[in-house]
Amino acid sequence: MKCPFCSHVETQVMETRMSEEGDSIRRRRSCSHCEKRFTTYERADVSYPAVVKKDGRRIEYDRSKLRGSLNLALRKRPVSTEQIDAAIERIEDKLLTLSQREVASTRIGELVMRELKKLDKVAYVRFASVYRSFEDVDEFKTLVEEFRR
C-alpha cells in the first residue's frame, strides 16, 4: 500500500480489525519512510446493476443517492440510523439477487417504497407523493385509505 503522504511503497500494518457490521476490514498502517500513520479499509467489490432512468439515460448505481432519498423521507421521523442502514442493505441485496446488468429506476423506487412502508407510514406517504407525482388531495386520500384497510 502506497503512503498517502509521501508516496513511499513500503508500509507496515500495525493493527487489523473487522468492522462492526462485518462487511469490511480496517487496517491501521505506518509508513516506513515518513513514519506517518493512516487507515485503509478493505471491502468486497460488488457490481450493482446500472440504473436506467425514465428518459433512457443509464447511470451508475449510487448508494449515497439511495440513502439521501430515505433520509429525506424519514427526516424528523423516529427511525434509527441502524434501521435505515438495514433497509438499504435489503434493497441492495434485492438488486444483487435480480442478477441483471440494468435495472429501471422505477424498480428501485418501488423497493424504497416497500421498505418505507415497513419503517414509517408518514415517510412512505412523503416519498410516494413525490415519487408518484401526486397532483391533488384525492391521491393522498387514496393512499391513506390503503393503510386504514
Structural domain boundaries of the chain? Answer: 11-43, 50-148
State the distance between the two ends of the chain, measured CA to CA, in whole angstroms.
58
- Residues 13-31 have pLDDT tens digits of 999 998 777 778 999 999 9
Return the residue matching grid coordinates 446500472: 50
Q: Tell me the C-alpha distance between 103 and 45, whole Å.
A: 19
Distance, CA of 69 to CA of 51 (rounded, Å): 15
- What's the pLDDT tens digit per position in 85-127? 999 989 998 999 888 899 999 999 999 999 999 999 889 888 8
Q: Which of 6, 4, 8 is nearest to 40 (CA)?
A: 4
- Give the integer Cα–Cα distance in Å for 5 and 36: 8
pTM comes to: 0.64
Contact 140, 125 (CB under 8 A): yes
